[in-house]
């Protein structure tokens, strides 16, 4: 097939395997089978999945998986009875949502891409099986095959996005829990938030800072902002504003910040000023520590020794 | 189809669409087409991909993608000529590796799961097209269709794993670059490593610590280990040992650690002892700071004021 064919028309050369299901064949046979026996379809789908050579070996919780799959079978029964069944058509919206949901569910459940592919293929083969006694020349079988290319792409894109989201979430939790909030003097907490607003969970860090303030009765804290990628990002400033406006903190606990860019200084000064919080800026951490100790009851005096 | 059928035999009920390609049909027609015209296959594969309604709209760098796809076409030409072509068979190993590589490449290139699915379907349809004039009853076409269920699963699992790896890598870089290494006094660096050994890149953190030591002429550093999930993990200890054995650090720069568990204390004491490094442990950060300042030229003395 030469690239000079007009796209979209090229496929009609081989009507038995059109890549796209346009211009919209109908799925009367499989729709009838679904309406008449959705429960059987679901049950056979799960059977085929359990037996599938594509998935990784391992036990399958049929009841749990069935609960996730059932809405998709119901949505398919409605969608495939429509006149205009093609990728992106309104009639398929619920099915596409269901497939995305299922792909995301599988990734969140620790399944592999093999499992996700096996589940979609098992549904396809279950439905193709329902067309067994029809005349293959009616095109429904082939159209269904290619519609499942689309369904498979929808489910597997959601699966892959789910994998990204799962790793992101894990790191997010790790950053919120592990971002250093330490006592640099017995009554001076310091926080070192890290990363960008999307992942750093600054709210979680400020919450731990607030707990530490309450525990040691701090009158001043240090925030080293040098690890933040975007110090004046709206999400960062919103978290700072919430912290600064806390009724037990505003007007009571001063903030000494270091590692701020010029833009960061203006933004943080504005936000803390609006909350009535005493705010000082130093360039380096040790300068911030010196400034904070002025407001604390503590001093580090070096023993004079040899 | 009832679940009481023996698995593996059930599919022979509908030989036109076997789910598995076992017991090993042969692919003589498509192998001949590949041997005779691998270049044409590659070119048509890319054409079909560019036109595919499955992929997300956008420009395709045909040359770059073609360079990634070419080895797979070559591997397929060899593999499909073999007698025993089935998922996991030695004959398919190169093809499976090629598909994994391609899936990983697509995820690293910022492609979507739709693009990955479109690329595999485009190859399948290109090869099916080569069988156009054969008798469909010979089974090669259907066997090829189902072999591509497997190929698709291999490629998309690699794609999803690539998505995980890409996010992990991004966070890893962020942690290495952003993990706080600050001067808590003008001549006392402190590091606050975070997370687990797999992701925290402690080597990168120690490298930054070593640079800071050289820059300020530090004789003592503080490491707050409370953010490490597994303080005596072999990878953590290997990074600590490399740091402690550095010729400009061992015997010259003391380490004051805090936030270590009992097991962490023993392991870190052993590693630093082997390198001849002075090692002190304190429970809390401010105690570690006090101990470090004893070894520094600096003191924080609070101004006596109102």
Q: Is B222 helix (H, G, I), strand (E, B) or coil?
A: strand
Cα–Cα dist B107/B121, whole Å: 17
Predicted local distance difference test score (pLDDT) of residue A39: 92
Predicted local distance difference test score (pLDDT) of residue B202: 86
A166/B163 Cβ within 8 A: no
CATH topology of domain B10-173: Globin-like (1.10.490)
Closest CA to B51 of A2, A7, A164: A7
Least Cα separation, residue A226 to chain B (angstroms): 8
A140 close to B (CB below 8 A): no
CATH topology of domain A10-172: Globin-like (1.10.490)
A161/B1 Cβ within 8 A: no
Q: B77: which residues sit within 8 A by CB, 6+ positions away?
A: B31, B34, B35, B38
Catalogue the E-assigned strands of chain A.
181-185, 188-191, 220-224, 254-258, 279-282
Cα–Cα dist A99/A28, whole Å: 21
Q: Could you say which of A129, A150, A294 has the minimum Cβ distance to residue B54?
A: A150
The band of A7, judged by pLDDT with boundaries at 50, 70 and 90, is very low
By CB atoms closer than 10 A (0-12, 13-18, 19+), residue B59 is exposed
Cα–Cα dist A8/A20, whole Å: 8
B114 close to A (CB below 8 A): yes
Cα–Cα dist A129/A41, whole Å: 10
B107 close to A (CB below 8 A): yes
Start and end residues for every CATH 3.30.750.24 domain found in chain B: 179-294
Residue matched to tokens 């799961």: B113
Closest CA to A266 of A255, A249, A279: A279
User: Best interface-test mutation with B: which of A3, A41, A46, A53 has the largest number of B CBs within 10 A?
Assistant: A53
Average pLDDT estimate for A125-133 = 84
Predicted local distance difference test score (pLDDT) of residue A304: 57
Predicted local distance difference test score (pLDDT) of residue B305: 52
Start and end residues for every CATH 1.10.490.130 domain found in chain A: 10-172
Predicted local distance difference test score (pLDDT) of residue B138: 63
Predicted local distance difference test score (pLDDT) of residue A83: 82
Cα–Cα dist A146/A142, whole Å: 6
Which A residues, 57 through 86, put their C-beta within 8 Å of a C-beta on chain B? none
Q: Is B65 helix (H, G, I), strand (E, B) or coil?
A: helix
pLDDT tens column, A140-199: 888 898 899 999 999 999 999 999 999 888 888 878 888 899 999 999 999 999 877 666
Cα–Cα dist A169/A180, whole Å: 19
Least Cα separation, residue B213 to chain A (angstroms): 15
By CB atoms closer than 10 A (0-12, 13-18, 19+), residue A304 is exposed
pLDDT tens column, A13-55: 233 333 344 444 478 888 888 988 899 999 999 999 999 999 9
Q: Is B197 or A67 the better-scoring residue by pLDDT?
A: A67
Predicted local distance difference test score (pLDDT) of residue A17: 33
Residue matched to tokens 């789908």: A45
Predicted local distance difference test score (pLDDT) of residue B198: 66
Q: Quote the tokens at residue A2.
A: 């030469």
Residue A12 has pLDDT above 70, yes or no: no
The tens place of each residue's pLDDT in chain B, 306 residues long, gives 333 223 332 233 233 333 344 444 478 888 888 988 899 999 999 999 999 999 998 899 999 999 999 999 999 999 998 888 888 888 899 999 999 999 999 999 999 999 999 999 999 999 998 886 555 556 888 889 889 999 999 999 999 999 999 988 888 887 888 889 999 999 999 999 987 766 667 888 999 999 999 999 999 999 999 988 889 999 999 999 999 999 999 889 999 999 999 999 999 999 999 999 999 999 999 999 999 999 998 989 866 554
The band of A3, judged by pLDDT with boundaries at 50, 70 and 90, is very low
Q: Is A247 helix (H, G, I), strand (E, B) or coil?
A: coil
Least Cα separation, residue B202 to chain A (angstroms): 15
pLDDT tens column, A217-245: 999 999 999 988 889 999 999 999 999 99
B47 to chain A: closest CA residue: A3
Q: Is A85 or A282 the better-scoring residue by pLDDT?
A: A282
Number of residues written out for chain A: 306
A113 to chain B: closest CA residue: B157
Cα–Cα dist B70/B87, whole Å: 21
Pairing of strands B220-224, A279-282: unpaired
B171/A180 Cβ within 8 A: no
Task: Give the CATH class of A179-294.
Answer: alpha beta
The torsion region of residue B139 among left (phi > 0), alpha (psi -120 to 50) and beta comes to left
Q: DSSP string covering B90-118, please?
A: GGGHHHHHHHHHHHHHHHHTT--HHHHHH
Cis link prior to A23 (omega < 30° from 0)? yes
Cα–Cα dist A188/A5, whole Å: 73
Predicted local distance difference test score (pLDDT) of residue A89: 85
Residue A305 has pLDDT above 90, yes or no: no
Give pairs for B109-115: CB < 8 Å, separation 24+. Answer: B111/B56, B111/B159, B112/A157, B112/A160, B112/B55, B112/B56, B113/A153, B113/A156, B113/A157, B113/A158, B113/A159, B113/A160, B113/A161, B113/B156, B113/B159, B113/B160, B114/A153, B114/A154, B114/A157, B114/B54, B114/B55, B114/B56, B115/B55, B115/B56
Query: Which value does ipTM take for this structure?
Result: 0.74
Across chain A, how many H-helices and E-strands are there? 10, 5
Predicted local distance difference test score (pLDDT) of residue B12: 30
């Amino acid at each position: 097939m030469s690239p000079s064919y007009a796209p979209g028309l090229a496929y009609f050369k081989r009507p038995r395997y059109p890549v796209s299901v346009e211009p919209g064949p109908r799925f009367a046979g499989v729709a009838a089978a679904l309406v008449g026996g959705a429960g059987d379809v679901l049950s056979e789908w799960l059977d085929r999945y359990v037996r599938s050579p594509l998935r990784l070996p391992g036990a399958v919780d049929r009841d749990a998986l069935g609960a996730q799959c059932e809405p998709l079978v119901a949505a398919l029964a409605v969608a495939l009875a429509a006149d205009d069944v093609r990728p992106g058509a309104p009639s398929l919206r619920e099915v596409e949502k269901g497939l995305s949901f299922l792909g995301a569910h599988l990734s969140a459940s620790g399944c592999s891409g093999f499992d996700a592919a096996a589940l979609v293929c098992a549904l396809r083969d279950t439905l193709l099986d329902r067309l067994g006694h029809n005349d293959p020349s009616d095109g429904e079988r082939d159209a269904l095959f290619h519609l499942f290319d689309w369904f498979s792409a929808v489910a597997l894109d959601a699966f892959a996005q789910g994998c990204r989201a799962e790793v992101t979430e894990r790191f997010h939790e790790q950053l919120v829990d592990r971002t250093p909030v330490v006592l640099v003097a017995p009554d001076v907490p310091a926080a070192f938030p890290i990363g960008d607003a999307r992942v750093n969970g600054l709210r979680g860090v400020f919450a731990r800072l607030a707990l530490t303030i309450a525990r040691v009765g701090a009158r001043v804290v240090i925030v080293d902002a040098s690890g933040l990628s975007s110090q004046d990002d709206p999400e960062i400033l919103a978290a700072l504003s919430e912290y600064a406006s806390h009724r037990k903190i505003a007007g009571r606990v001063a903030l000494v910040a270091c590692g701020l860019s010029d833009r960061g200084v203006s933004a943080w000064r504005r936000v803390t000023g609006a909350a009535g919080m005493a705010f000082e800026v130093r360039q380096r951490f040790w300068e911030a520590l010196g400034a904070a100790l002025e407001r604390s009851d503590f001093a580090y005096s070096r023993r004079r020794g040899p």
